Chains A and B, each alone.
Chain A
Amino acid sequence: MTDRTSWLRTRVRVGWLLLACGILVFAAWLVLKRANPDFPWDLRILGGIGIGIGAAGAGTLVRYLPAMSNDELARRLVVAELDERGVLIRRRAGERAYWASAILVFVGLMWASFASKGDLPALEGDLLWNCLVIALAVPFFVYIGSVIVDESRT
């Protein structure tokens, strides 16, 4: 077995595993929903998590499974993902996104601390939702922006 085949097989296994976990979590949601409709918390979050995990697995399989029977596609995929310059660019982007995320979480923690003393509005309702959206979106855009800039510079 070549390194390339082994690398691909690992990804396909991860894809199947994620898909199976997603289906299990989703099935657990269906069973719990039928068994106990008066559950103390909203069970739909379980269904949502199941769909999310399953979709990640399906996406992985769609990307890597066709390459198992197509050598040229496998070669291109491996080069695209393991090319050292590409890996370096993605790693740098990941570091920048991490710091953006850490700064936002720090600001959120400070806000929550001040809010508990009444010095700032409490993080709840729409304000909390908007803050969480920002905490999710900003690191994503930092990552994408960093990849674009480094792709053009290096």
Chain B
Amino acid sequence: MKNRLEEQRTSRGWTQQELADRAEVSRQTIISLERGRYNPSILLAFRLARLLGTQIEDLFLYEDGDHD
């Protein structure tokens, strides 16, 4: 699933570690999310959206075929 996590994070001037600390996940999880290699749980997706002051639909872009 594509996402705008890196774009939203850098627009706030946060490092991956800062976002990870705020979201209470590991930095590796943020890296995997930004590379599109890991899809977050709905709870983490909401938490990230809230932290970045955006809507979940604007942060994570679901497309047909994003089954896994």
A interface residue numbers (CB < 8 A to B): 75, 78-80, 82-86, 151, 153-154
User: How distant is B9 from chain A, measured CB to nearest CB, in Å?
Assistant: 17
Interchain CB contact under 8 A, A153 and B37: yes
Q: Which of A75, A78, A82, A85 contacts B28 (CB 8 A)?
A: A85
Q: How far is the CA of A153 from the CA of B38 in the complex (A)?
A: 9
B interface residue numbers (CB < 8 A to A): 20-21, 24-26, 28-29, 32, 37-38, 40-41, 44
Q: How far is the CA of A82 from the CA of B44 in the complex (A)?
A: 12
Q: How far is the CA of A78 from the CA of B25 in the complex (A)?
A: 9
- Which A residues touch B26, using CB under 8 A? 79-80, 83, 85-86
Interchain CB contact under 8 A, A79 and B37: no
- Which B residues touch A83, using CB under 8 A? 25-26, 28-29
Offer 11 A-B interface pairs, CB within 8 angstroms, sorted by A.
A75-B21, A80-B26, A83-B25, A83-B28, A83-B29, A84-B41, A85-B25, A85-B29, A86-B29, A154-B37, A154-B38
Q: How far is the CA of A82 from the CA of B41 in the complex (A)?
A: 13
- Which B residues touch A85, using CB under 8 A? 25-26, 28-29, 32, 38
